[in-house]
Structure 1
Amino acid sequence: MTDNALAYRRSHAFRTAVTDIGGHQRFTRAYRPQTNGKAERFNRTLAEEWAYAQPFTNSHERTAALPGFLHNYNHHRAHSALNGQPPITRLNNFAGH
């Protein structure tokens, strides 16, 4: 999820990168700072719990650690906004993995 900046809206490279990792482009609602706050909070979590949580020798090491962080974040990490449940539990087809 990104804000509505033209860099995200009109960038074919960004859209391709998101699609290549199996993602879907989602944008915050215009004039809705609460939604943008969610995106900003996720960016802060990424910085604190992944990008700078430990020293990496190089960017390749950091990139290699991202899938594991995202799996933990989405499948195992308790989220206070979800009553202590991970985001995966919000999916309609969640089978309890």
Structure 2
Amino acid sequence: MNASTDEFEQLRLQIEAELYTHIGPLLFGERLYSALGYPSADAFRQAVFRNSVPVEIFSLPNRRGRFALSRDVARWLAEERIKAKSKEGGS
């Protein structure tokens, strides 16, 4: 593994652990759309409608709303942070 892969994995694992500790393995509702950076439920609904949510979301039988796995959200957040950091020149 190279340094950027190590940094990504370390960040991903840290985010995933925090999500699991504070929320659990499944995100939904306000916690889901907030973790993905949407300012409101309406903004999230529009992203769902446009099929532009950056992680896999799904429905569950006999449950309302959309769900995502904490690990998928953690991976996406880590990827975006690493991309932003590389654009900033590594700072």
TM bracket (short chain): 0.3 to 0.5
Greater RCO between the two (CA within 8 Å, min separation 6)? 2
Q: Which has the larger radius of gyration?
A: 1
